[in-house]
Amino acid sequence: MKEYLDALERSLRKKKSLLDQILEKSREQAALLKNEDLAPEDFDRNVEEKAALIEELVQCDSGFDQVYERIREKIKSDKAKYREEIAVIQDLIREVTARSTSIQAEEARNREAAERKFSTIKRQIRESNSSAQAVNRYYQNMMKINYVDPQFLDDKH
């Protein structure tokens, strides 16, 4: 039973570490979104790194759930015997929950910043396309000024 509780504790410590890394990636993402010269590759790399951490976090959660399901009834029946281990696990769960809340708040801010950034980029693209079309029309019109249509001359007068 002690080994199972140790496994739960290790799993929560790993989850806490992963959440810290995800929070750091979210903060990096916020800085990237504030950057006027944001390179799409930098943003993509950040998102991919964060996705890998999230995948690892999901696996960690799955492992925790499996171990907990094995020992849930035993823990409930012998709470007094495992009081210290349970207290450590509960503290870790509180820390993990606090980090999860921080990440959710950071992600909400990042989502809003990304929407603003992408909206600005779309507007700039539309303006650029509109300018390119105007320039194209201008040059087409200028080319017509120097062009004289073939004319029919009547020499009989």
Query: Where do the domains of the chain lie, and which CATH numbers do they carry?
Result: 2-144 (1.20.58)
Phi/psi-derived region of residue 151, left when phi > 0, alpha when psi is between -120 and 50, beta in every other case: beta
Predicted TM-score (pTM) of the model is 0.71
What is the pLDDT, as a whole number, of residue 137? 75
The identity of residue 127, as a single letter, is E
The identity of residue 61, as a single letter, is D
DSSP states of 97-153 as a string? HHHHHHHHHHHHHHHHHHHHHHHHHHHHHHHHHHHHHHHHHHHHHHHHHT-------
What whole-number distance in Å separates Cα of residue 26 and Cα of residue 45?
12
Per-residue pLDDT of the chain (157 residues; tens, 9 = 90+): 788 899 999 999 999 999 999 999 999 999 988 888 878 888 889 999 999 999 999 999 999 899 888 888 888 888 888 889 889 999 999 999 999 999 999 999 999 988 888 887 777 777 777 777 777 777 776 666 655 555 555 566 5
10 Å Cβ neighbour count for 38? 14
